[in-house]
Structure 1
Amino acid sequence: MTSTALRSRAWKLLETVTTPLLPSDYLDLVSPLRAGADLRGRIEAVHPETADAATVVIRPGRGWRGHTAGQYVRIGVDVDGVRLWRTYSLTSPTHRRDGRITITVKAVPGGKVSNHLVRGAKPGTLVQLDQAGGDFVLPAARPAKVLYLTAGSGITPVMGMLRDTGLDDVVMVHSAPRPHDVIFREDLHGLVADGKLRLVEVHTGTDGRLDLARLGELVPDWAERETWACGPAGLLDAAEEHWAGHGVPERLRTERFRPAAAAAGEAGEGTGGAVTFSTTGRTVDADGTTPLLAVGEEAGVLMPSGCRMGICFGCVTPLKAGAVRDLRTGEITEAEPGVLIQTCVSAAAGPCDIER
């Protein structure tokens, strides 16, 4: 008898002993990060960055395939007995020596997962992981001159790039309300001291919002630089307009944490309505601007999700009745047999029924 056949017989014997559980269930208890298990990670440390932001150090399981600096990871966290999934930028370099990865999370008002990770996560806690994704990364052929344009937590994917590369000519323009609100401020000034970065801080609490008309004053050669920008939608919209207006749109790459919403009233009323989750029998009122994914999660409905930006289609769900509005384009989708919607970029356009 071959060794493979012997292992198969031994495994079947174990199954009879462990029924109704599987042997793998017991292995998960003993070695949850083992190869072959569902991809998990163990939180090893939580380091405060600002009053409302923290870096979470995670040891990923053996199934982790690595990442490229600037990418994001989808993480599943159990909060009050409910598993919730969120997507965060990886702030660790591509090849961290100890094999750990880091995400840096800013707590948002009412955010269940962000507040839990920043203020409640403990070392030893297991989290679920997906493989890294996203194309907001530097090319293999490194550009000679780079500009990073960031605001608030938009600095997180860029920090991974700064820690990862040895670029010769890097400028960052970053805005935050006050100096102590700048995430990674100590790290950034350390890079400045080492001659690896030229940093321009804009403190909106005293200087007002960053006006890109001043960019030529702050970074005279900005149009010659390959630029990566991440931050609030207003900043990115202004950047896309600015770069296009100067004839260099190809030099700008942007990363949006939330989909750009169409203005209220475009291509439909967008007034919201009662949302029924027919599988769970729950009905809640929703406005016309909140993604149905967030509406469902707030109501305690188990909602599939992925990138939360309308890219990966991990949140696709049948629309049984009513109509929804695409927050990016304003387009209205009405229910009919076989219609699927992306809940992360769709909002209620009147009463609707979602099959969840």
Structure 2
Amino acid sequence: MPQSSIERSTWLRRLRRAGHAFTTPLSPDDYFTLINPLWSARELRGRVESVVKETDRAATLVIKPGWGWKFDHAPGQYIGIGVEIDGKYHWRSYSLSSVPLHENGTVSITIKAMPEGFLSDHLVNGLEPGTIIRLAAPQGDFVLPDPPPERLLFLVGGSGITPVMSILRTMDRRQLAADEALPDTVLAYSAVNEDDMMFLHELRVMALRYPNFTFIERFTDSDGILTPDQLDDIVPDWRERATWACGPAPMLDAFTELYERHGLTDRLHIERFSLATVDSDASGGSVTFGVGGPTVQVDGATTLLEAGEKAGVNMLFGCRMGICHTCDVPLASGRVRDLRSGEEHDNPNEYIQTCVSVAAGDCTLTL
């Protein structure tokens, strides 16, 4: 071997040994994050670039993701975000309101502060730009096929506009960039009043720009709640349109029943922000997270996922509504109850969904 190669190899070995010593007991990843908090190979992270008020109760979080993020989400999908408050990470899932492949390397979620929502209120009214958050990759199937149907209907209530906004913005961008025809689209959007309607100005501009985009504004303070029996009046051809609906659970339940009655369930796509449950008579009990792990006493209304998070257990989750199965774990022993159906499970090693299951007696999960 030439002398220059020997010297170079020796130098590289010494450099590796020095690097190893320098990074012990910390890993190189720990030092990368000291330089830049977004440089982590162990978890997805993001930095809140800005918090943009949309209404008095809603704001858009503009987030710059770090290493490992792929800007290829499908419009209509959601992400998980973890925010540290008082030394503890709180996780929730929110729909993306931005388009994929954003030119400035950011993504956006739009959140409405709810009276009962501790985290949503913090994100809208208390989160500071520059905050480092944890991220979970995009998920969800509330998306349009490619190519989209020629005739579309969006039925939206309140914060249900957020995934639809990502879809509409993407269609708008494609039309402007590639001169693609915008599908014949109707958006029926309900909010309490004009001040409470997110993206109102942007949607009105879109309606002026595209003759085949119909924007139906409905304010429940003055117009009342949109009911299925009114659909014939506002969208006479709704039966011929592929429909995407997102909003409060009673609204979605009512329109689901309408489409079922007309045999059109294949045309209806639903996105729920809250879990539809049956009345639970589960007794609760002691839940043990892993054999020999922490044990907590829970009631019959607290999900196993919520109980684990309160106990400081690192619980995996995605949608928190029983859709994505990210939270599935084996049941080691005991009995649990599914909040959606009321069905009870007590088979050892059966996988259960912790986000929609409660204790129906003492139980142990395999983690």
With the shorter chain as reference, the TM-score category is: 0.7 to 0.9
- For the 8 Å contact 2:282–2:337, the answer to whether it is kept is no
1:22-70: per-residue Cα shift (whole Å, max 9, x none)?
2221112213334846321111000111222210000112421121211
C-alpha RMSD over aligned residues: 2.7
Q: 2:353 maps to which residue?
A: 342
- For the 8 Å contact 1:151–1:230, the answer to whether it is kept is yes
Question: Does the alignment pair 1:247 with 2:269?
Answer: no
Q: 1:12 to 1:246 in 2, by over 3 A?
A: farther
Deviation of residue 169 (structure 1)?
Answer: 1.9
- For the 8 Å contact 1:178–1:204, the answer to whether it is kept is yes
Unaligned runs of 5+ in 2: 173-181
Q: 1:168 to 1:113 in 2, by over 3 A?
A: same
Q: Which of 206, 212, 221 is the aligned partner of 1:191?
A: 206
Q: 1:126 maps to which residue?
A: 132
Question: Does the alignment pair 1:65 with 2:70?
Answer: yes
Q: Which of 54, 59, 71 is the aligned partner of 1:54?
A: 59
- For the 8 Å contact 1:146–1:225, the answer to whether it is kept is yes
Query: Which has the larger displacement, 291-300 or 64-73?
Result: 291-300
Q: 1:300 to 1:181 in 2, by over 3 A?
A: farther
- For the 8 Å contact 2:287–2:359, the answer to whether it is kept is no
- For the 8 Å contact 1:79–1:116, the answer to whether it is kept is no
Deviation of residue 294 (structure 1)?
Answer: 2.7
Q: 2:299 maps to which residue?
A: 286
The amino acid that maps onto 1:19 is: T
Q: 1:339 to 1:134 in 2, by over 3 A?
A: same
Give the Cα separation in 2 of the matches to 1:302 and 1:34: 22
Q: 1:324 maps to which residue?
A: 336
1:1-356 alignment to 2 at 5 Å?
Answer: 10-34=15-39, 36=41, 38-66=43-71, 67-166=73-172, 167-195=182-210, 197-261=213-277, 263-264=278-279, 270-278=281-289, 281-288=294-301, 290-298=302-310, 300-334=312-346, 336-354=347-365
- For the 8 Å contact 2:29–2:41, the answer to whether it is kept is no
Percent identical residues: 45
Question: Rg: which structure is higher?
Answer: 2
Deviation of residue 103 (structure 1)?
Answer: 0.5
Give the Cα separation in 1 of the matches to 2:148 and 2:228: 25
The amino acid that maps onto 1:116 is: H
Give the Cα separation in 2 of the matches to 1:17 and 1:211: 66
Give the Cα separation in 1 of the matches to 2:84 and 2:40: 22
> Counterpart of 1:124 in 2: which secondary structure?
coil
TM-score w.r.t. the length of structure 2 is 0.85
Deviation of residue 6 (structure 1)?
Answer: 7.1
> Counterpart of 1:131 in 2: which secondary structure?
strand
Unaligned runs of 5+ in 1: none
Give the Cα separation in 2 of the matches to 1:183 and 1:165: 19
1:60-111: per-residue Cα shift (whole Å, max 9, x none)?
1242112121111112221211122221110001232212100111223343
- For the 8 Å contact 1:89–1:156, the answer to whether it is kept is yes
Q: 1:204 to 1:292 in 2, by over 3 A?
A: farther
Give the Cα separation in 1 of the matches to 2:258 and 2:59: 32
Q: 1:238 to 1:110 in 2, by over 3 A?
A: closer
> Counterpart of 1:165 in 2: which secondary structure?
helix
What number of residue pairs does the alignment pair up? 349
Q: 1:331 to 1:169 in 2, by over 3 A?
A: same
Give the Cα separation in 2 of the matches to 1:4 and 1:115: 57
